[in-house]
Amino acid sequence: MSKKITLTGVLVVILLLSAIANVALCVRYVRTVRTAQRLHAVSNRLQVQTTLVVRNRNLMQSVANEASQYAKKNTAMAALVQQYGPLYEQLNLKPSQSAAPKSPTR
């Protein structure tokens, strides 16, 4: 029984292969969309957290500035400001400039 390779057969095989490739690409697309959606949700959550971080840092900067101002007239506060030098550095403030003079506490 001889099999003749007809043009229709070749075309059907090509169509079949294309359909298989199409299904594979669809699966890959759906997976990629899901991954992107998950990443988008994580990104949104992280942006909210980053906003909180920025707000907290601004608040602490204000408090640290008040402490620095108060340290000019209070030695205890001056000592505290000196002690928390790393925090001032993290808040982009300069504790050395706000150090209290060697004057007695009022």
Binding site for another protein (CB under 8 A): 7-8, 11-12, 14-15, 18-19, 21-22, 25-26, 28-29, 32-33, 35-36, 39-40, 42-50, 52-53, 55-57, 59-60, 62-64, 66-67, 70, 74, 76-77, 80, 83-84, 86-87, 90
Residues 6+ apart with CB under 8 A from 81: 64, 67, 68, 71, 88, 95, 98, 99, 100
Minimum CB separation from another protein for residue 29, in Å? 5
Name the residue nearer to another protein (CB basis): 79 or 101: 79
Q: Tell me which residue of 90, 38, 42 sits closest to 64, measured CA to CA.
A: 90
Residue 35 CB neighbour total at 10 angstroms: 10
Tokens 């294309």 identify what position? 18
Minimum CB separation from another protein for residue 16, in Å? 10
